[in-house]
Copies of this chain bind each other. A is one copy, B any other.
Amino acid sequence: MPRARIMCSIFAISLAWTIGKRNRTIAPRQKNKIAFIAPLIAGLLLPVLWSSQNPPRNQKYQELAEKIRSAGLRHEKAFKLLEGLIKTSGPRLTGSPGAAAAVEFMRKHMQELGLEAWLEPVTVQHWVRGDTEEASIIQSSERSPYFLSVTALGWSIATPAPGISAQVVEAASFDELRRLGEKVKGKIVFFNKAMDRTYLDTFQAYGEAVPYRGRGAAEASKQGAVAVLVRSMTLRIDDDPHTGMVQYDPKVAKIPAAAISTLDADFLSDFLQKNDSVVINLKLSCRELPPVASANVVGEIQGTEWPNQIILLGGHLDSWDLATGAHDDGAGCVQAIEALRLIKESGLKPKRSIRAVLFMNEEFSVTGGRDYARSGRRKKEKHIAAIESDRGGFLPVGLSVGGSPETFLKLQGLQDLLKPPGIVWVRPGGGGADIGPLAGQGTVLMSLVPDSQRYFDVHHSAQDILASVNPRELELRAIIMAIVAYVLAEEGL
C-alpha cells in the first residue's frame, strides 16, 4: 500500500507539472494563473496522499467491523467464558490440577463452538507453594512478634522447617546492596524499591522495579545473604503481597525469596529506621516436584485459500496460585476464543487460518511459547502475524506492532476500523513473551495494549479475580482482536 501512495504522489506531481507545461501555450495571464494553481494543488494534495492512512480496501471491512462490534457488545460472552473457566479450574498454576482442568475445559469449549481444536504437548515445571508462609518480626522492643503479609516468590526454595531467623538489612537498589558489602552476610536483605508512581504507563514503573524481584535473591546471595524479602510490585498501598518469579543464578547458592505487601514494606522500613537491630523469622514450605506433562490448547478457523498461513491470537492459560488469574491471563485466553466465535458467528470464512493459542506455562519460563514455536507441526505452516494479550482484560487503547516500517504503515491503516471499538493509537513495538519465539520465523508480532492504570492493583495477587473484570472492557478487546485478525487473514501482510 505505501507503494500505491508513492505512485499516487508521483502521479499528482506529474499531472501538475504537465498541466503547467501544456498551458504555456495559453494567454500569458491565464498561463501564469494555471502554472501557479496546478502545483499549488499538487502541494495541497501531496500531504493528503501521504497522510491518508491506507484506507481499508473498501467499505466491506467498515461494515464487517461494525457488525462484529455490535454482535460482541450485545452479550457478555467473553465474560461468561471467563466465569466458566474460573469456576472449573480455580487457580491454574503451571503443573497444578487446576491447570490440567483448564486445558480440558478450553479444548472442549472450542470444540463446542465448532472450531478445529487440539492439544500440543508441553512439559512444565511443577512448583508448589506448600502450607507455610510466614514472616514475623520476632525481636523488637515495640511489637513482638509482628506478622508481615508475605508470599513466596515462584521457584523459591523453602526455608528449614523452623524458619530462617536473621537480622534484616534494607536496600533500595543494587548499588545500595553493593555498598553494604560485608554487612549483608548472614542477613535477610529487604529490597524496598517502590514502583515509580509518576509514570503514566505503569509498565514502565514495573520494568524498573521488577529486577529486584527477579535478580534480588541472586545478587544478595553473592554477598552472603540468607534470604530476601521484596516489596510487592504494585502501586497500591495495601495488604496484599504480590508474587512472581525469582531467577536464581546457577553460580551462587539459592536462598529463599518472598514478597511482602506494600503496607508492610512501608511499616518495616519505618521500623528499621527506629530500631538498630530487627530480626525476622521467615518460614516457607514451597518446593519443586517432578515435571508434569501439560499442553498448549489450540483452536482455529481454517482458511479457505491458504489454510497453512496463520494469524495467531494468543494468551496464556496458566496463572499464579493466589487467585484465579482473571486478568493474568484468563482475559487473554477468553478474548482469543471470543474473537474466533465472533468471526464464525458473523458467517465470515477467512482466506487464511485464524488460530487461538492458549499457551501453557508463561509464568514459569515460557515453555509453552517455546515448544509451540519449535514443534514439528510448524514446519508446514507460515505464521503471518501473532497478536498477544497479556496485560489484563482492561480497556483497550492501543495496538503495538512489530515488523518493518512498511508493515507498520500498513497496520496503521487499520486505525479507522479500530477507532469505533476504542483504539486510539497504533505504534511501533509489538511482541509478547509467548509469541516471542515466533520472531525468528518472520512472523509480525503485535500486542493489544490496555490502559495500564489498574493492572498492578491485581497482578500476581489475591485480587486477580472475576469481580475485577468489566465485561464490556473484555468484550471490546475480543472485538478488536476479531477485526484485526479477519482483515489480516484476508489481506495478508
Contact = CB atoms under 8 A, between A and B. Distances in A.
Interface of A: 16-17, 20-21, 24, 32, 35-37, 39-48, 69-70, 73-76, 197-200, 202, 235-237, 395, 420-422, 424, 451, 453-454, 457, 470-473, 476
Interface centre among A39, A70, A235, A422 (most CB of B within 10 A): A39
B424 A453 contact: no
A74 B235 CA distance: 10
Contact of A453 (B17, B70, B470): B470
Contacts of A235: 472
Nearest to A44: B43
Contacts of A236: 471
Contacts of A473: 453-454
Chain A, interface SS category: helix
Contact of A470 (B20, B237, B457): B457
Contacts of A70: 198
A451 B36 contact: no
A3 B97 CA distance: 70
A74 B454 CA distance: 16
A81 to B, nearest CB: 15
Contact of A44 (B17, B47, B424): B47
Contacts of A237: 76
Q: How many copies does the complex hold?
A: 2
A40 B41 CA distance: 8
7 contacts: A32-B35, A43-B43, A44-B46, A47-B47, A200-B420, A395-B451, A451-B451
Given A76-B237, A453-B473, A20 B43 contact: no
A422 B199 CA distance: 11
Given A35-B36, A453-B476, 14 more contacts: A20-B36, A37-B39, A40-B43, A43-B43, A43-B45, A44-B46, A70-B198, A74-B197, A76-B237, A200-B420, A200-B421, A395-B451, A453-B470, A453-B473
A112 B457 CA distance: 31
A153 B479 CA distance: 36
Contacts of A73: 197-200
A342 to B, nearest CB: 13
A273 B197 CA distance: 54
B36 A17 contact: yes
Given A40-B42, A44-B43, A237-B76, A200 B470 contact: no
A163 to B, nearest CB: 34
Contacts of A21: 32
Contacts of A421: 200
Nearest to A202: B472
A314 to B, nearest CB: 24
A395 B40 contact: no
Q: Which 5 pairs of residues, A with B, have the shortest CB-CB distance?
A: A43-B43, A39-B40, A40-B43, A70-B198, A43-B44
Contacts of A451: 395, 451
A69 B196 CA distance: 13
Contacts of A202: 472
B395 A453 contact: yes
A198 B74 contact: yes
A197 B69 CA distance: 10
B32 A39 contact: no
Contacts of A199: 73
A295 to B, nearest CB: 34
Interface centre among A36, A197, A471 (most CB of B within 10 A): A36
Contacts of A76: 237
Contacts of A420: 200
A204 to B, nearest CB: 12
A219 to B, nearest CB: 28
Contacts of A74: 197-198
A80 to B, nearest CB: 10
A449 to B, nearest CB: 13
A226 to B, nearest CB: 34
Given A197-B73, A235-B472, A424 B422 contact: no
